[in-house]
Structure 1
Amino acid sequence: MADSWEALEAECLRCNGCALCEKRQHVVFGDGARDAEILLVGEGPGQREDEQGVPFVGPAGQLLDDMLEIIHLDRTKVYVANIVKCRPPGNRDPLNVEQDACMGFLRRQTALLRPKMIVCLGRIAAKAIIKEDFRITAEHGQWFERRGVHMTAIYHPSALLRDLSKRPETFSDLKSIQAKIREVCSHTTV
């Protein structure tokens, strides 16, 4: 039987596939338009996301909203998810075993969504989705295509909060994303 959004979310909310489930407040399944042509993928929830059960609602999420606004895009037009659905302690990088436990959920979300574009937010997402040896400093903004889906990675918004020097490069990456949306998306206008 094919997944439905409701069934997949219910299964994800019950997940205890790794140790992250033991200390979570909320599973952070994903948020946005379930018919979006654009999927944004981060690495995992932070403290505010764990508290609210919604991805990218803390300071990095506020910056992400500002970044999307630069290219005339907002959350009503995209779907936002993470590699792992529960918060790693202290906001550390998710371990491989934790990523493996959650990757099936993200794959099934992607299958339901059938996006034309995936934008990886940071190196963890890029390594999990684009290629294992992805180097964010050298390959951000480059485009890859797999099975008709256009993929790129940009610096994670939290990295941009820590290092303002990366913002000009990210602005160029955002403009590239805007151009790609105009090229490949049929009902998303920017």
Structure 2
Amino acid sequence: MTKSKLDTAIDFAKNLFTTGAVFQTSRKTEREICTRLSREPRKIFVEFGMGHGNITRQVLKTIAPDAKLYTFEINPEFCEYVARTLRDDRLVIVNDGAENLLKHLEGQRVAGFVSSIPFTFFAKEKRLAILRQTYDVLEPGGVFSQVLYSKFHYKIFDQVFDEADVRKISTIPLEYIYHCRKRK
């Protein structure tokens, strides 16, 4: 059972600097952020910023039945909530930050990332370090998709990835999805 919009807003507001949002992402955004994920079998995927799991659920609907999703979340209460409400053998919940990605992947290559972490609140060096790590573990042709509430972040994604574009999702508040790719 998912949390009500009011309960989610309260949880997110209490954790604004780690969630970067007051409201959960829209259904349009959940679908759009997953549009570039591979549906090929036996692929590895990563989510940064699981929250209450609404994007997580969409990723699991999108990827192959034998794929694996590692989802990183620094809030232990959010991890416990999703572990309790979303049972899927493909899901590995990691109660840790995106900056510690390599420690949990154990050398595995990743087909795609989805992220809703609040890059706006991160120092430039931390943003770049996370994005460079992400790029390094992406398999050729792999994607990284990030939702933010500002259209002014294109430059940092273009600096790290081989291809980058941004899609505006007309919701309140406006959401922007940055789709990035590593060349084959």
- TM-score band by shorter chain is 0.3 to 0.5
Normalized against structure 2, the TM-score is what? 0.34
Normalized against structure 1, the TM-score is what? 0.33
Structure with bigger helix share is 1
Larger relative contact order, structure 1 or 2 (CA cutoff 8 Å, min sep 6): 1
Structure with bigger strand share is 2
